[in-house]
Amino acid sequence: MITASNITHQHNGKPVLKDVSVQIPGGGITALVGPNGAGKSTLLSLIARLQPLQSGQVLVNGLDVQTTPARNMARTLAILPQTTEVTPRLTVAELVGFGRYPHHRGRPGPQDVAKVDEAIETFDLTDFRDRPLDSLSGGQRQRAFVAMVFAQDTEYVLLDEPLNNLDIAASRSLMQTLQGLTRDHGRTVVIVLHDINYACAYADTMITLTDGRLGPCGTPGDIVSDAMMQQVFRTDARILRVGDRVLVEA
Amino acid sequence: MPTKLLAGLSLAFALICVAYMTVDAKAGWDFILPFRGTKLLALVVVGVAVSTATVLFQTISGNQILTPSIMGFDALYVLILTGSVYALGGLVVADLAPIKTFLITGSMMVVVSLLLFGSLLLDNRQDLFRMILTGVILATLFRSLTSFLQRIVDPNEFAFIQVASYARFNDLSIDTLAIAAPLTALAVVSAWSMRFRLDVLMLGRNISIGLGENPHRGYLVTLLLVAVLVSVSTALVGPVAFLGLLVVSLARFVLPSPYHSHLLPVAALISAITLVGGQLLMERVFRLVTPLSVVIDLVGGLVFLTLILKSLRR
């Protein structure tokens, strides 16, 4: 379980998060949703210790992210940041191999090689294995980065808007792979999503943020409603229910 | 693959060294051995220092075009040297043992470059063109300040500075070698011992944190090594504008692997071969008509232009 308590954060004097306390359950996919500038990515990067906490505390499985040694943290929690720089000529297999770094510190063993092969297969990258990243399409490259984060073999995997720049086929296949990994491998995925429909379709838990404050949290079927769309996104989009599926009008 | 490449380069390096020591040896060996030997050692030290500094700098700045020289590190060293001549007087500086001069200038160099480039590199990685622009502005600023100081010092002191402001492969400051060689060895060993961390740091700040590396500390240590290595090479031969870019681009071109455990030795060998081989050609074949630095800067400058044009097209 990830427990964030009393997180208040300012960026250049402007408040981004205001006293946010939230618990993210272990297992399944938890989606962070909210309008632009609501503080979703900031909350995720604070949980992942990409930025130092200004106030409050984050515990991941009881480990304080501020004080736990970086290497131990990297074996519990993995993060895929929103913008990733691409080192020229780095191949897919080399990139995915870096996911094992927290375990081997530069000297990969047979187990690390096996995990890398497994991640490459899971994310359907076998054909691109030895291709440099800068020769791949946006979707393929994003899959390679997600594969690296999964090769890290951590209980918690945090992804910041991984569907950016992906078309519908690539988005769906990525979300389905993530769903499979939470179900079959017991991973916990925390994901910032821009499109609430993807959150409704794939998330087990939804956490909403507006203007730096926590909104309704729960399963998408329970919390997504006309009133919630008005409160969180300030739009009058209608909700359609098809069977047990929730769809938000575009 | 890298093993074969490394073996080939080591062989070429050994041959070039033997050639440098023996071609046209007319005097007795008891003269030639120490005379050419120290020069050879100095050239190798400069080559390794420049290539290692360039690889390290490119890793922490996240691009493969910028080098410490382009960002103005060498110019900063010359400025500090000029500043101390101006402040202390040329005779005082000239009277100091060269090793003392080097230690004073070198340690000031480390402090100033950490202050200046630290804030530029550590907080946030800038985009490439902003970095190039910053580098060009800083380098120009350092050079202008240097020439301003040169104009107001007295002519005797000017002569002293003048020598230090240009690349000189024929007239190396051998006296500094006693401290420069061990310092370079120390810095190179440190870089080698953090080769796996450098691989991770190359992926950028956020991914480094995700993989359990502290990028802030890593960048700081690397920047420190760069400052030491640049001080060493500038003290020995003066500013070498495009040597680093030339040899490291060449290393990346022949080497398919992105790992520092391969890149550092390959770049160092190519750099040493270029310097020793180039100097051998200039001294024995072209009879010193053209300085080696001019040739290296011409070719290196062309490589720089090509790389920039290539990155613009992307």
A128-136 — which CB contacts under 8 Å span 24+ positions?
A128/A92, A129/A91, A129/A92, A129/A93, A130/A91, A130/A92, A130/A93, A131/A91, A131/A92, A132/A88, A132/A89, A132/A90, A132/A91, A133/A86, A133/A87, A133/A90, A133/A91, A133/A92, A133/A95, A134/A86, A134/A88, A134/A89, A136/A92
Q: Is the pLDDT of residue B29 over 60?
A: yes
Q: Which residue would you say has higher pLDDT here, B270 or B66? A: B270
Q: B243-269 in b/e burial notation, b at 16+ Cβ within 10 A?
A: bbbbbbbbbbeebebbbbebbbbbbbb
> A47: distance to nearest CA of chain B, Å?
11
For A209, list phi and psi in degrees, rounded to 5: -135, 135
Chain A residue numbers with beta carbons less than 8 Å from the beta carbon of B209 are: 48-50, 70, 79
Q: Are A166 and A174 in contact (CB under 8 A)?
A: yes
State how far residue B282 is from chain A, nearest Cα, in angstroms.
35
Domains for chain B: give ranges and CATH numbers: 2-9+47-313 (1.10.3470.10)
- CA B180 and chain centroid, separation: 12
Q: How far is it, in rounded angstroms, from Cα B167 to Cα A156?
A: 54
Mutation pick from A80, A87, A133 vs chain B, by most beta carbons of B within 10 Å, is A87
Amino acid residing at B205: R
Identify the CA nearest to B78 among candidates B174, B147, B136, B131: B147
pLDDT tens digit sequence for A132-158 = 998 888 888 999 999 999 999 999 999
Kindly list the residues from chain B whose CB atom is less than 8 angstroms away from the CB atom of residue A161: none
Q: Cβ of A79 under 8 Å from any chain B Cβ?
A: yes
Residue A72 with chain B: CB contacts under 8 Å: 212
* Chain A residues touching B206 at Cβ < 8 A: 45, 50, 79, 81, 84
Q: Which residues of B touch A89 (CB under 8 A)?
A: 252, 256, 258
d(CA B224, CA B207): 22
| ipTM attached to this prediction | 0.92
List the one residue out of B165, B128, B130 whose CA is nearest residue B144. B165
Q: How far apart are the first and last CA of chain A?
A: 33
Q: How is residue B254 written in tokens?
A: 């022949």
- Judge: B212–A102 Cβ closer than 8 Å, yes or no: yes
Judge whether residue B313 has pLDDT over 70. no
How far is residue A159's CA from residue A66's CA, in Å, rounded to a whole number? 20
Q: Check CB contact under 8 Å for B204 and A84.
A: yes
Decide if B212 and A80 are in contact by the 8 Å CB cutoff. Answer: no
Q: How confident is the model at residue B303 (pLDDT cuts 50, 70, 90)?
A: confident
Which chain A residues are Cβ-neighbours of B197 within 8 angstroms? Answer: 106
Q: Is A99 on the interface with B (CB under 8 A)?
A: yes
The residue among B62, B86, B19 whose CA lies nearest residue B277 is B19
Name beta bridge partners: A188. A28, A156
What is d(CA B128, CA B163) in angstroms, rounded to the nearest whole number? 33
Tens digit of pLDDT at every position of chain A (250 positions): 999 999 999 988 899 999 999 999 998 999 999 998 899 999 999 999 999 999 999 999 999 999 999 999 999 999 999 877 777 789 999 999 999 999 998 889 999 999 999 999 999 999 999 999 988 888 889 999 999 999 999 999 999 999 988 889 989 999 999 999 899 888 999 999 988 999 999 999 999 999 999 999 999 988 998 889 999 999 888 888 887 788 888 7
Determine whether the interchain pair A50/B206 forms a contact, defined as Cβ–Cβ distance below 8 Å: yes
Decide: A79 and A108 in contact? Cβ < 8 Å.
no
Closest chain B residue by Cα to residue A105? B196
**Residues of B within an 8 Å Cβ radius of A:** 62, 64, 125, 195-197, 199-200, 202-204, 206-207, 209-214, 252, 256, 258
- In sequence order, what are the beta bridge partners of B62? none
Is A81 close to B64, i.e. CB distance below 8 A?
no
Instruction: Please give the domain boundaries of chain A with CATH numbers for all domains.
Output: 1-76+155-175+184-250 (3.40.50.300), 78-153 (no CATH)
Output the six-digit token pair for A127: 């054909």
Give the best residue of B61, B123, B207 to mutate against chain A (max A CB count within 10 A): B207
